[in-house]
Structure 1
């Protein structure tokens, strides 16, 4: 387990899938994810089997609270480009419908950033979020990510087109 002050990152286990599925299907959360539809148990199991266990370009972790061992959420490095040393960084805290908070999410993110740069030797972490995701915008700024740019009208949500914002953090910054 990778440990921070409040959280630990560990392998996602089959026993975690039900709770992770419940959190992924919270409508308020789902609007922030690329997967916009409600996920089924079958979808979740397929993701676990094909992505978590077998995809060499994805590394996913369960986030747990160190003091209780309770599952809090998930974080991962997706679309890892081993040649160019970059990865898409993802994270959410499902417990208590937090989504992103300054205690657990920030702590888990710092662990993930350290792991990505120091253990895996990656150079760049990036993330695409939607312009209405103010919590993640503030989160990335707190962590030192920079706004790289915007793709206009990429996501239909809330009865309107929304922009995608791209943030990144470099290992040498």
Structure 2
């Protein structure tokens, strides 16, 4: 467990899968994710078994609120490249439809970045988000990420093409 001021990051457990799946399936949140389809319980279980438990290129964590141990969301580093020492940053809060906030998400994000740089010895952490994701466009720079580039019209959602925005943070 990695303990912060407001939240802790811990291993995702089977009991977390259903609330995480329900949050990911909310249309107001799903619009921000690469997986555009509704996630079935079987898909969620397969993700847990294949990625969370067995893929060395993935480090996913449950975000737990410190004062009551409530599951709040998930975060992680994906596509970990140990040779080039970089990984993709992922985070969301599902509890109370927060998605991203200044208190809990910021604390979790800082813990995850510290883990990536200090424990995994990464040189670079990057994030790809869509141009409709205004909360993360404010959130990522608050953690030190810099906008590095845009790929035009990469994702079709809600009847229109949106851009991918790439952010990076160096150790």
TM-score band (shorter)? over 0.9
- Distance (Å, rounded) in 2 between the aligned partners of 1:141 and 1:46: 33
* TM alignment of 1:14-163, pairs within 5 A: 14-163=14-163
CA RMSD of aligned residues (A): 0.5
CA distance in 1, matches of 2:9, 2:149: 30
For residue 115 of structure 1, give the secondary structure of its aligned residue in structure 2. helix
Q: Give deviations 1:60-105, integer Å, cap 9, x for gaps.
A: 0000001100000000100000000000000000000000000110
Q: Please give the alpha-carbon distance, in whole angstroms, between the structure 2 residues aligned to 1:58 and 1:141.
A: 23
CA distance in 1, matches of 2:161, 2:33: 15
CA distance in 2, matches of 1:132, 1:16: 28
Q: 1:158 offset after TM fit, Å?
A: 2.2
TM-score by length of 1: 0.98
Report the count of equivalent residues: 171
Distance 1:6 1:145 in 2: 21
Gaps of 5+ in 1: none
